[in-house]
Structure 1
Amino acid sequence: MNTTTACPALFIAAPASGQGKTTIVAALARLHTRLGRRVRVFKCGPDFLDPQIHRVAAGADCYNLDLWMCGEADGAWRLAAAARESDLILVEGVMGLYDGEPSGAEIAARFGLPILAVINGASMAATFGAIAHGLKHYRPGTNLVGALANRVAGERHAELLRAGLPADIDWYGSLARDADSALPERHLGLLPAGEIAELDARLDRLADLLAPTAAATLPPPLDFSRIAASRAPAIAGLLAGRRIAVARDAAFCFLYPANLDCLRALGATLVFFSPLAGEALPDCDAVWLPGGYPELHGERLAAQSALWSALAAHVAAGKPLLAECGGMMTLFAGITDGDGRRHAMAGLLPGEIFMQRRLAALGMCAARLPVAAGEATADDELRGHSFHYSRAETPLTPFARALRADGRPGEAIYRQQRLTASYMHFYFPSNPRAAAQLFLP
């Protein structure tokens, strides 16, 4: 195990979405893990799904990096902490290398990470090198060190792709097209790791396919001690002695590991339960229903009348309940799924949820949530994001409204007694004190 903050690291980028970044990162993580190395993986942006794959591939939690939602200091200390306990750090970018605000190129530059370009090599030869060259030289100072070809047709094809690379970009190997190891998707992205059949076998097959062409040697170590704020910030024990029941199963699977860590750092004890399995609400002081896919499990959730009654009693007793996105959807009277079938839900909130084929909302957002009377201030701000295909029809008046990153109005936030519900997914480490207020009476 590495005991310093010097550790090899790569930022995995691509010309666009759909090039296979997640597949390559997972394959590299599994390959190096099998070589006896301790690998830590990060994912740029607010993604919940890719990190689940990487956790299985590397055998360790995958944390998010985002300069707006998470903040630069949050990313800095998490990278430094990973460097102290691992032999390789892999950071998966988002979209194309120069897409977004901030872009992957900006994130890599901010943390001094060398970039490995993943390029779909299907149906091309020398153009592979042209794309790699363009990615490196489009913006001066971009530290793109290598390229890896995905979806190649065979050894001869890989040789053609490699031959087209310019001298200042190293060849990092290739991955052949292989239907048996493909990672399945649905409307919000990849399937959750727990739903992918034989995921470990798929990851091993990806590592097997990559191993003959990928260099087993590591890039030079980076000294992460140069990063400011390289230690976790001190967090007051505002939730000391409190038990928080957290729903966690296929219907409630959108959980940032950083959020769980934050609640524990605040002093809370977390107890997990599965609504889909019919598990009773644990004895607790507060409840958290995170997002997920309740619309895919409507019949099973509709049968959980005992849980809905327990949650109603919990709220009536003045105890806190936080419901995010999918969690909020289950608290309305019913969910009508994509096939037009209605499933009765908890009925703690008046109104109905309707699934639609068109994306309803996507983007970063921030919310200021006052606990007592008075205007909220910047000290009350929690950052996060929203991403959903459903809409809520409700007579409820929002308690507050999140703002998008550009300042436009965003998701409604509802409050009834100590029940807080919204389509917004909160990133608790962005403001641990404000996050704690969601779980206090």
Structure 2
Amino acid sequence: MPACPALFLSAPASGQGKTTISAFIARWLRNQGLRVRVFKTGPDYLDPQILQQASGQPVEQLDIWMCGETYCRERLALAAASNDLILIEGAMGMFDGNPSSADLAALFNIPVAVIMDVSGMAQTAAALVNGLAMQRADVRVAGLIANRCGSQYHADLIRDALPDSIPLLFSLQRNDEVTLPERHLGLVQACEIADELEPIFERGAALLAHLNARDFLALAPVVEFHAPVQSRDAETLSAKAPLAGKTIAIARDAAFSFIYSANTGLLETLGAELRYFSPLTDAHIPPADALWLPGGYPELHAHTLQANHSMRQSLREFHQSGKPILAECGGFLYCLEQLTQLDGTSLQMAGLLPGTGVMRDRGGCQGMQTALLPEGEVRGHAHHRSAASGLPEALSHARRSRHPAPGEAMYRVGSLTAGYLHLFFPANPQAIADLFSGAVQAEPAQL
């Protein structure tokens, strides 16, 4: 069975520097010729972009609820077979959520390195990490990474206060030159600032140069990952290749980039040919049998989207043809008639759905939900800071993972399926195959 050193990077809360330090470790070891495979806990599009550029390898999501234990086990086993180290970056605080980062670490017996922003504290940091270590017997804390120390003396105070069982793995002093830029939904997309990120990664890796890579790898014990036996249903579906001969056009640019590699990988496994295009710069949708408009930041590029009249007309014609379209979150906003910015400016969108999207500077919705579609149930998540009004009657409302209140509305107008939910395609491959093949027939849209 595949085995590989593995380390889980978690924290007592969000905002402690998990992504920054995960990226620095990945780049530091990569620079020494080691293959580091990084995974991200939970539904996240932005952190994986950063981590992928730092590590030079694809970064996939792991979540026990959204992805399923079998999927997580499969991806880890594949990574273990060809890498020197597996790093998993947690989400939120170590025990936050259900399932939590601690649940994932415990499931695969991966030790946890706790990352903590220690600015404003000293010996208390030792008390906090000791409390995390004692919370659950099935979660082992390998040590503390003290971020944003004020000085070496500050780091020494923390080291001396730690129990013998929890070493200080390393410390980083406050340094604005190694800070990753952020915006309202998290980090700025790597595709927007790739050239700016490179010197940050290299400076971060240089901060770790005093460490011994062999000693660091020794902190991550070799973990055996038992590859799951593929189910008969999965084998049958792959063999049938239900999307063979189908071409799926996928919007991908600075406005639409929230794309799980697991989703595109599944579409290809099902036999589809994928063609990417840009609603910002291209004049037309490429020839295709189906279309996917993923989430992203259309609000940051709304003027350009409005000005691209030929693309909006191409989208309306595609919809009128009756070919399947899936629009998620940002893609859903693009399909509405208008998008109103924070300053009150309203811009014209594609108009496939009646309604207006309105951006908000706070609040919004997030959480794990299951889309209830005619093709089947598909798990996913919501994360947005906008609201939509003036919409038609909903096809259905998603089911929340942990709350009885109705979840996000899903809409179907003609061949268009749209809503705020970001779907995780491997959660129900057959439903996704039926959705993009148009197995559930829809009437051509009346414009």
SS in 2 for 1:37: coil
Give 1:88 shift: 0.6
Give 1:147 shift: 1.0
Match of 1:199?
A: 197
The whole-number CA distance in structure 1 between the counterparts of 2:13 and 2:52 is: 23
Match of 1:208?
A: 206
Give 1:209 shift: 1.4
Whether 2:303 is the aligned partner of 1:299: answer yes
The whole-number CA distance in structure 2 between the counterparts of 1:108 and 1:238 is: 35
Does the 8 Å contact 1:193/1:199 carry over to 2? Answer: yes
The whole-number CA distance in structure 2 between the counterparts of 1:214 and 1:189 is: 32
Whether 2:103 is the aligned partner of 1:140: answer no
Match of 1:374?
A: none
Question: What is the percentage of aligned positions where both structures have the same residue?
Answer: 47
Give 1:105 shift: 1.1
The whole-number CA distance in structure 2 between the counterparts of 1:436 and 1:119 is: 43
SS in 2 for 1:387: strand
Give 1:213 shift: 4.5
Does the 8 Å contact 2:108/2:225 carry over to 1? Answer: no
Match of 1:48?
A: 45
- The one-character-per-residue Cα deviations of 1:43-69 (angstroms, maximum 9, x if unpaired) are 111011101100001111111111111
- The one-character-per-residue Cα deviations of 1:342-366 (angstroms, maximum 9, x if unpaired) are 1111111111111112322111000
* Aligned ranges 1:69-84 → 2 under 5 Å: 69-84=66-81
Match of 1:224?
A: 224
Match of 1:251?
A: 255
Structure 2 vs 1, CA of residues 229 and 13 (structure 1 numbering), >3 Å: closer, same or farther?
farther
* Aligned ranges 1:31-430 → 2 under 5 Å: 31-196=28-193, 198-213=196-211, 216-217=214-215, 218-219=217-218, 220-226=220-226, 228-229=228-229, 234=235, 235-236=237-238, 237-371=241-375, 380-406=376-402, 407-430=404-427
Does the 8 Å contact 1:27/1:203 carry over to 2? Answer: yes
- The one-character-per-residue Cα deviations of 1:161-217 (angstroms, maximum 9, x if unpaired) are 222221111221112211112111111111111223511111111111123257553
SS in 2 for 1:261: helix
Give 1:221 shift: 4.2
Structure 2 vs 1, CA of residues 209 and 231 (structure 1 numbering), >3 Å: closer, same or farther?
farther
Which letter does structure 2 place at the counterpart of 1:240?
Answer: A
Which letter does structure 1 place at the counterpart of 2:118?
Answer: G
Match of 1:375?
A: none
Structure 2 vs 1, CA of residues 230 and 82 (structure 1 numbering), >3 Å: closer, same or farther?
farther
Does the 8 Å contact 1:81/1:230 carry over to 2? Answer: no
The whole-number CA distance in structure 1 between the counterparts of 2:148 and 2:223 is: 34
Does the 8 Å contact 2:73/2:227 carry over to 1? Answer: yes
Does the 8 Å contact 2:337/2:355 carry over to 1? Answer: yes
Runs of 5+ unmatched residues, structure 1: 372-379
Which letter does structure 2 place at the counterpart of 1:176?
Answer: Q
Structure 2 vs 1, CA of residues 180 and 225 (structure 1 numbering), >3 Å: closer, same or farther?
closer
TM normalised by structure 1 equals: 0.94
Does the 8 Å contact 1:82/1:89 carry over to 2? Answer: yes
Runs of 5+ unmatched residues, structure 2: 439-447
Report the RMSD for the aligned CA atoms in angstroms. 1.7
Which letter does structure 2 place at the counterpart of 1:349?
Answer: L
Match of 2:442?
A: none
Which letter does structure 1 place at the counterpart of 2:210?
Answer: P
Please, which moves more after superposition, 189-198 or 300-309? 189-198
Please, which moves more after superposition, 299-308 or 398-407? 398-407
The whole-number CA distance in structure 2 between the counterparts of 1:214 and 1:161 is: 21
SS in 2 for 1:330: helix
Does the 8 Å contact 1:172/1:213 carry over to 2? Answer: no
Does the 8 Å contact 1:146/1:172 carry over to 2? Answer: yes
Between the two proteins, the alignment pairs up a number of residues equal to: 430
The whole-number CA distance in structure 2 between the counterparts of 1:118 and 1:216 is: 20
The whole-number CA distance in structure 1 between the counterparts of 2:47 and 2:230 is: 25
Match of 1:25?
A: 22
Give 1:279 shift: 4.5
Which letter does structure 2 place at the counterpart of 1:319?
Answer: K
- The one-character-per-residue Cα deviations of 1:69-97 (angstroms, maximum 9, x if unpaired) are 11111100000001011111000111111
Please, which moves more after superposition, 202-211 or 157-166? 157-166
> Which residue among 410, 430, 437 is the counterpart of 1:433?
430
Which letter does structure 2 place at the counterpart of 1:385?
Answer: H
